[in-house]
Amino acid sequence: MVKHILDTPIEYLKGVGPARAEMLRKEADIRTFGDLLHYYPFRYVDRSKFYTVSEINSDSAWLQLKGKITGMQTIGTGRTARLVMTFRDHTGETELVFFQGLKWIKEKVFVGKEYIIFGKPNYFMGRYNFTHPDIEPADEEAQLQNEPLQPYYSTSEKLKSRGFTPKNFVRIMRTLISQVQRDIPEILSPRVLKEAQLMLRANALTNIHFPADIHSLGKARERIKFDELFFIQLQLLRLKYLRMEKVKSRKFSKIGDYFNSFYHNNLPFELTNAQKKVIREIRADVGSGKQMNRLLQGDVGSGKTLVALMSMLMALDNDSQACLMAPTEILAQQHYKTISRMLHGMPVEVALLTGSTKKSERNELHARLQDGRLQILIGTHALIEDQVQFHNLGLVVIDEQHRFGVAQRARLWEKSEIPPHILVMTATPIPRTLAMTLYGDLEVSVIDELPPGRKPVKTYHYYEKERLRVFWFLKEQIARGRQVYVVFPIINESDKLELQDLMDGFDTISRYFPLPDYHISIVHGQLKPAEKESEMKRFLEKKTQIMVATTVIEVGVDVPNATVMVIENAERFGLSQLHQLRGRVGRGADQSHCILMSSYKLTTDGKKRLETMVRTTDGFEIAEVDLHLRGPGDLQGTQQSGLVGLKLASLVKDEKLLKVAREMAYRVLDEDPQLENPENQPMVRYLQSSEFDWGKIS
């Protein structure tokens, strides 16, 4: 098979060669002609326009200036060294600051010579400066100024030192385009092209690098974004169609004794309307004769466990087994306890299987599972191990979905000849656009109501100087028999400095809350699992009143008597994490409180995050703000998802285009579910090519 020209290793491009190819691979993950072709400019510059130092008045825009370097000074040594240059034009002077690649920059830039700089000014200590601007001798730059919109590629100091200055990037890109332009395949069917009114792909990929004009650039961007969104949708929906067409499925035709007896005798409280609605949706799915694949979104404390249990009882009523998978051992244990307690007095066989289940116990459990005596199995990842064989697995519930990928879900299906129904539960509310993309193959249910009597957690933002007041408040709460969490932002659990912060915090708290009146638990990632477990247990059993912890307590743990959550350096947490942490309190009927401690230095985003937390407890609203602040690439659960693979399309800004793309994918599949029509073959080939990296999405 002849390889496509776009698969040619990048070192064979004129002007690259092996050494630079290696650098491109390391610094920008560019390996082939195709990779480079998809390395889009991050902006376009009108290179005919120059600003002056006196015109700098905001730190939002990228500016191009022309002037002389009049001074150069290295400040500090070693890792903290920085290079400061003075840049002067006829209106004034500003500073250019460099932290990296000092040696190389010093060799290239000379005091007294004229340069063109390009960068984004920062406002610092009452003045503007430029950090790591691009800097080119003025005479060399002149030759590039005949293009109206010049592409601008992001590059690193390392790449620059290998000759990949922004200017050279443009040159190499021009070489590439002239070489591959005629070989860029069209990957959409004529019909989709026409109905969505899109620019041809070859045309778009040329114009994205070298726009003929602003209009062509717009069309080019639209086309490339469309492709990014459309093929994800096409793939997700195709899988869904295939599953619906092909997959044999079990039909839970009846509601029987297990469900009814639980409902009438064991249900500890009235179901909320939202719980009822979701149970009806699940009931309709499992009774339809098609495999259920449903995502259940519900804020922390909304009562998902009960929905899971009642769904599992539907399976039992239809002579099937059910399992519930949790992301951590503590959570699995907690589910096991809760569910065993709720089933009290009912003839249901439930067991727990985790990594620490003893071998003998495990063997016995496997046997009971295989002959069908064991009806509900609760556990961790241990459940997807190969030795675990079910007699007749009818329903799989996965809690806290974001930790399990599509691939892991698929492994669970294989546990049964006829694939089981799947219910995925998540407490991380996901904005609609993201859900459409991340879980495009799932139906979505939402529990949008908390159990009655739940008071929204009161949230406050305090600065350090108010600490004594906060401690006084904690004492008052503890005096009323309540318990308190104090959480520290440890990003890297093995970082000694951060651990020190935690220990210092622990010391301070121990001083204000001394023995014998107060007892304190501490949990962090450096503890052994057994130690962690025992500290958690002391808190659960109310032997300690304060739990000092890192975010290891973030997921799922349920201590209804804990009513206060103090989050230290709250500005360092992301919004969804703050929301998850706050969800640890407010689980009982008592008023709960969340106190966000912060330093005085807050970024605009940091301030916005804290304000949002104080303003609302609505997880969906918080998720929307988070999506806008951070972009989807950083949202919890999306890191592994390949959404970072969206280069141009944005789930925040391109909601409309995403809808068009999804609609187009539906139209294609409605007409040709197996994608067999000749005109759809280019799309099939693209889905199978290395360019479409589906692996990243699953």
The angle that helices 655-671 and 214-246 make with each other, rounded to 10 degrees, is: 50
What does the per-residue mask of binding to ligand ADP show for 303-322, with x meaning CB under 6 A?
A: xxxx----------------
Q: Tell me if residue 222 falls in helix, strand or coil.
A: helix
Q: Does 123 bind ligand ADP (CB under 6 A)?
A: no
Q: What is the rounded distance in angstroms from the CA atom of residue 54 to the CA atom of residue 339?
A: 69
Q: Which is nearer to ligand ADP, 300 or 613 (CB)?
A: 300
Of the ranges 109-117, 299-307, 385-393, 486-494, which one interacts with ligand ADP (CB under 6 A)?
299-307
Q: Does 198 bind ligand ADP (CB under 6 A)?
A: no
Q: Supply the DSSP symbol for 144.
A: G
88 close to 70: Cβ distance less than 8 angstroms:
yes
User: CB 99: neighbour CB atoms within 10 A?
Assistant: 14
Q: What is the rounded distance in angstroms from the CA atom of residue 172 to the CA atom of residue 186?
A: 23
Q: What is the rounded distance in angstroms from the CA atom of residue 34 to the CA atom of residue 184?
A: 9
Angle at alpha carbon of residue 297, lines to 623 and 529, rounded to 5°? 90
654 close to 229: Cβ distance less than 8 angstroms:
yes
Of the ranges 2-10, 265-273, 463-471, 530-538, which one interacts with ligand ADP (CB under 6 A)?
265-273
Of positions 34, 166, 298, 379, contacts ligand ADP by CB under 6 A = 298
CB of 398 to ligand ADP, least distance (A): 13
Give the footprint of ligand ADP on residues 555-584 (CB under 6 A).
Answer: 558
Of positions 271, 527, 675, 687, contacts ligand ADP by CB under 6 A = 271
Give the footprint of ligand ADP on residues 436-465 (CB under 6 A).
Answer: 451
Q: Which is nearer to ligand ADP, 172 or 306 (CB)?
A: 306
Q: Does 272 bind ligand ADP (CB under 6 A)?
A: yes
Q: Does 427 bind ligand ADP (CB under 6 A)?
A: yes
Q: Does 426 bind ligand ADP (CB under 6 A)?
A: no
Q: Does 267 bind ligand ADP (CB under 6 A)?
A: no
CB of 285 to ligand ADP, least distance (A): 19
DSSP letter string over 158-204?
HHHHTT--HHHHHHHHHHHHHHHGGG----S-HHHHHHTT---HHHH
Of positions 63, 300, 540, 567, contacts ligand ADP by CB under 6 A = 300
Q: What is the rounded distance in angstroms from the CA atom of residue 665 to the CA atom of residue 663?
A: 5
Helical residues (DSSP H) of 451-597, grouped into ranges: 467-479, 496-512, 529-540, 575-582
CB of 623 to ligand ADP, least distance (A): 16
Q: Which is nearer to ligand ADP, 45 or 427 (CB)?
A: 427
Q: Minimal CA–CA distance to 267: which of 219, 316, 305, 321?
A: 305
Of the ranges 9-17, 267-275, 653-661, 683-691, which one interacts with ligand ADP (CB under 6 A)?
267-275
- Residue for token pair 């000074």: 73
314 close to 308: Cβ distance less than 8 angstroms:
no
Of positions 165, 206, 275, 291, contacts ligand ADP by CB under 6 A = 275
Helical residues (DSSP H) of 421-528, grouped into ranges: 432-438, 467-479, 496-512
Residue 562 β-bridge partners: 483
Q: What is the rounded distance in angstroms from the CA atom of residue 653 to the CA atom of residue 222?
A: 12
CB of 552 to ligand ADP, least distance (A): 17
Run of H or E residues at 564: strand 562-567
Q: Does 297 bind ligand ADP (CB under 6 A)?
A: no
**Residues ≥6 apart with Cβ < 8 Å to 39:** 28, 30, 153, 173
Residue type for position 48: S
What does the per-residue mask of binding to ligand ADP show for 102-121, with x meaning CB under 6 A?
A: --------------------
CB of 583 to ligand ADP, least distance (A): 7
Of the ranges 59-67, 108-116, 240-248, 298-306, which one interacts with ligand ADP (CB under 6 A)?
298-306
Q: What is the rounded distance in angstroms from the CA atom of residue 354 to the CA atom of residue 360?
A: 13
Q: Does 619 bind ligand ADP (CB under 6 A)?
A: no
- Residue for token pair 């799989």: 396
Of the ranges 13-21, 44-52, 269-277, 463-471, which one interacts with ligand ADP (CB under 6 A)?
269-277
CB of 429 to ligand ADP, least distance (A): 12
Of the ranges 102-110, 185-193, 266-274, 411-419, which one interacts with ligand ADP (CB under 6 A)?
266-274
Q: Which is nearer to ligand ADP, 431 or 451 (CB)?
A: 451
DSSP letter string over 118-162?
EE-EEEETTEEEEES-EEEEHHHHGGGTT-SSEEE----HHHHHT
CB of 282 to ligand ADP, least distance (A): 15
Q: Does 349 bind ligand ADP (CB under 6 A)?
A: no
Q: Does 269 bind ligand ADP (CB under 6 A)?
A: yes
Of the ranges 119-127, 294-302, 356-364, 479-487, which one interacts with ligand ADP (CB under 6 A)?
294-302
Q: Tell me if residue 350 falls in helix, strand or coil.
A: strand
Helical residues (DSSP H) of 320-390, grouped into ranges: 329-342, 359-370
- Residue for token pair 């519900």: 298
CB of 272 to ligand ADP, least distance (A): 5
Q: What is the rounded distance in angstroms from the CA atom of residue 392 to the CA atom of residue 34?
A: 48
CB of 580 to ligand ADP, least distance (A): 10
Q: What is the rounded distance in angstroms from the CA atom of residue 248 to the CA atom of residue 251?
A: 10
Q: Which is nearer to ligand ADP, 282 or 365 (CB)?
A: 282
Of the ranges 151-159, 297-305, 498-506, 597-605, which one interacts with ligand ADP (CB under 6 A)?
297-305
Q: Does 642 bind ligand ADP (CB under 6 A)?
A: no
CB of 314 to ligand ADP, least distance (A): 17
Determine phi and psi for 372, rounding to 5 degrees.
Answer: 90, 0
Of the ranges 3-11, 33-41, 301-309, 494-502, which one interacts with ligand ADP (CB under 6 A)?
301-309
Run of H or E residues at 140: helix 138-141
Q: Which is nearer to ligand ADP, 180 or 565 (CB)?
A: 565
Q: Which is nearer to ligand ADP, 34 or 303 (CB)?
A: 303
Q: Would you tell me which residues interact with ligand ADP (CB under 6 A)?
A: 269, 271-272, 275, 298, 300-306, 427, 451, 558, 587
